[in-house]
Structures are given as structure tokens and as C-alpha cells.
Amino acid sequence: MRALVSAAGLLALVLVGLGLTGARFAPGDSLAVVRVPLALLAALTLPWARPRWLAALGTGAALLALAGPVAGMLLPAKGTPGPVAVYQKNVLREARRHDAMVADILARASDVVTLQEVTSPTHPVLTGIAPQYPVQHWCRFARMGGVAVASRWPMVPGTAHCMKSMTAAAMQVQAPGGPLWVVSMHLRWPWPAEQAVQVRWLEPELKALAGPLVMAGDFNMLAWGASVRRLAQATGTERVGPVRPTYWVFGALPLGIDHAMSAGGGTVELLPRFESDHNGLLARLHPGKGYGD
């Protein structure tokens, strides 16, 4: 029995290690999704491994792998609210009722709104917020539903576009602190789905957006995944806020896959799901250098 338990722990630890390779090995990000349960399994079983040096080394490695995610979940949020308020929401493409969601968006009175899975059934969300957010850009991607940006501020003419990767909508707005790019993101799931390919397509598109930028969306990847890190690097931003579950797989596995990013940090508040299967986010972001200077 001890040998079986030890073998399970070692296998879990190997899978944790492979989950760190997502930047170069697409299946690695799939394993990153389950890094916490795998590392927890390793930490609970490897103390029974033999020889003792293997038990100590393996248990230490498992605890180290747990440290970052657990700290992100448990430590109090750092940062101060920024001048740009972003309401982020995956609206669920099949949703037929939107009244509570629309009312919440209007009540929160953010500066910009980023939406995913905007389809014919969910387009009434955009219509409903139009009086307060008249500047709207909707990319009608067929496979995953559309992606949209809405703003109370005017758009810089000619800047609205849909990423060729079919994952993001972007437009530059005339914010009080100067021109500001707003990106709404929706990635597919990691391998065997196309997330890694989408990120490769996105990187040059995002790098081409010159100037201050805020980005929010459904990344279908946890905070420690390579895809999230690569998109942050491409935009010169960082993920903002603590790690909180925003989507529950089969109602049992909590995943924090919706994120907000900016160069200067900020704060993020978790919002109700309403008619969607995702929690919303209210981010108050500092766009960083070049904004308000």
C-alpha cells in the first residue's frame, strides 16, 4: 500500500512539473489548470515515500508548487483603486434573461465594459447598456460568440478592430488621462483546444497597440498559466487582484479564469453571476506610464 501511495504522489508531482512547461509545451497549460489538486495530492502522499530523502525532497517540491496559488487565494488583496473602472463579464451565449445583469452594469457605473459570448440571444445586454455606454464595438466571432467593448468615453476614430486571432475586440478611447486602449479577451480552452495557437497569433497583434492599455476577459486559464503570462508580457501589463474562482466546472471544480490586466495595478472586486455561468469583475485600474502624465 505504501508503494502504491508513493507512486501516486510521484506521478502527481511529475504532472505538476509538466504543468510548468506551458510556454513551450501546449499540454503543460492543461496541467496548470489542475496544479493545485495535483500538488495537494503529492504533498499528502509523498511523506510516506521511501527512501526518506525522496519523501523530504518530493514533499518540499509539492509544497513549493502550492505556495504561489495558495498565497494568491488567501493573502489580502494589495493595490489601490485606479482611475479607470472596467466591468468585465462573460454573459453566457445561450442566456435569455438579462435584466439583472444589465441593471448591475448600469448601477456600477464603470467607465468601460468588456463582454464575451455576445450572440443574438445576448446582444440585448449591449442594447440595454447603450444609453450609458453609447460607444460600442462588437466583434461577431462565430465559434465562441462575439466579443465586445463598450465605453462612456468617445472612441479615437479608426481604432476599433477585431483581432485576426478571433479572440479579442479592441478600441482606443479618449479617456480623461489621454488615449487608452481597451481590450476584451476570450480565449478557447487549453490543449487539446486551440488556446496556445491563439496566444501565438495574439502576441504580435497586442504588441502593435501603442500606448496605455487595459485588458479584461475570459482567458479560460488560471492566473499561473503560461497563456496569461504571455499576454501580460505582450501588452506590458500584469494581472490585477487576488485569485478568486469565477467559473465552476460541473459545479465542483472552482477555476479563476476571468482576469483584468493593467500596467500599474489596481483592485478587482468579484461580482455575482446573474444569468451567466461566470462571475463578473469590477476592476479599478491604473493604466500606468503615459496615462495622465
Cell digits for 247? Answer: 467559473
Tell me the one-letter amino acid at 280. Answer: G
Distances (CA, A) of 158 to 44, 138, 173: 56, 14, 11
- Helices of type H across 114-238: 124-129, 195-207, 226-235
pLDDT, tens only, 178-230: 999 999 999 999 999 999 999 999 999 999 999 999 999 999 999 999 999 99
Q: Is the bond leading into 176 cis (omega within 30 degrees of zero)? A: no
In the block, cell 488583496 appears at 77
Output the pTM of the full model.
0.92
pLDDT of residue 5: 65
Residues of the chain with pLDDT below 70 are: 2-3, 5-6, 75
If we measure between CA atoms, which residue out of 87, 8, 99 comes closest to residue 280? 87
pLDDT of residue 176: 97
Tell me the one-letter amino acid at 192. Answer: P
- For the four alpha carbons of 163, 166, 167 and 168, in that order, the dihedral sign comes to positive
Half-sphere exposure of 194 (CA within 13 A, CB side): 12
If we measure between CA atoms, which residue out of 74, 52, 70 comes closest to residue 62? 70
Domains and CATH numbers, the chain: 2-74 (no CATH), 84-285 (3.60.10.10)
pLDDT of residue 78: 77
